[in-house]
Structure 1
Amino acid sequence: MAAEVVDNITYIDCQTTAKGADADSARIRALSKAMQDAQFQTGSAAVHFKGFGSGYIAGAELDGQIRLLIEHIRKGGYKSLVWDGDDYCATGFTGVLPRIRKELPQLRMGAVLLAKHREKRFHASWSVLTGDSEGHIGPFDCFLVDECVSEGGYEALGWLMLRATCAKKVVLLGGGVVVKGEYDLMQAAAEAGTHPQVDFKLFDVARVLATGEEQRSALLGVLPKA
């Protein structure tokens, strides 16, 4: 797989030209092989991180849940953390990544991104945060997948990532309908016996929508609180 380092971000091209019924299988194989070639640890060594994209309500509840989440990752002994290509947002789950890096400096981080979004939004968002200054995430990997993955919505991207990494754990700092959709896809596959059960761990926090309405996770009531 072709790799390019720009501003401390290692972009690894995992795009395929596969079409039809076998397309997803080809994408999973390509992403899995790219991670293996990059020595990015997967399986039980990997944890996926998801949550609300923006709007967290600052305060004691949020800070306490972030501390619990980081401690959960620490105790799990994970070697790598994956997120699904969201831009940096100080009030969203990606805003927590620099803090995780500070607390767990040996944890390797990687994003999985639709290739067309690299220059459109992703690089400008993250390239200013890849140094070693306070509040930075430092160097990380970004695995680029073809845009056809998004035909089923971003739930399809998250589900593809889980199948490619074979991770056993997903940690959630809140999370809306997309995260719920990913959970539903995993659960249906687990019940059908086509994919192992994945443990989704919910750290419950609130966010404020543009309307001023407070929102909790779409998985609250489906998953127990951590």
Structure 2
Amino acid sequence: MDPLDKALIVVCLFGGFALALPWMAWVRLKKLEIKHGGKLLVRGITGAQAARIILLRGQIEEVGVDETSFAFTDFYSAYEPAIKLSPAVYHGGRLFDVARAARLAGHALQHRDRKLGNLAAWDSFMILWGNAWPILFVMTLAARGRFLFAIAGFSLLAGSLTVAHLLKHTHIQDAARRGRKELEEAKLLDGHPKEEIDAAFLAARMDHLALPYSKTWWGMLFNPKA
């Protein structure tokens, strides 16, 4: 086989892995939900209360915690500023709900320290990409010319966006760490084994990695409860 063709195949495999990564994150998230997702927080607070406690501990008075019916995901709005929680997380008393709210409150702590990336805009873009790439892929298959070159170009685009998404994910990890630290110092996670706490905050991070799959038309088509 020609070396160029081998290189193109490697690029295509890289693109395939990049496109599959959000789905793999979603599968990991669902496994965590099945194993630990039903655990109620021993301290008996909701996601909204947890977020407000973290904000108070961080001396952040200007950030609100709002319930929203926004269709896609919970998020931190740096422009208002406010933490936007779905009804399930806002009123939820599960450890997973509290961890998700704590991660978003962690973004407010990042904002306070001027370490917040433009995550809301990026996440919206990745949701748009997740909805668009199946259509772009079909268009690529129909393109005239060398088939392998067309697929390789598409794969490079997919791979580049996934690498950028992974780099943005470092902000998610830091926010989750900050939120967890505040809850632990407030003794609000007492009564839960480390395994359950680790699983809850891992799920809060997997939410972000899974966005290009879980919040797309085709993700919801094949998994209505995604």
Q: Structure 2 length normalisation: TM-score?
A: 0.30
Which protein is richer in helix relative to its size?
Answer: 2
Which protein is richer in strand relative to its size?
Answer: 1
Rg (Cα) greater in structure = 2
The structure, 1 or 2, with the larger RCO (C-alpha pairs under 8 Å, 6+ apart) is 2
Q: Structure 1 length normalisation: TM-score?
A: 0.30
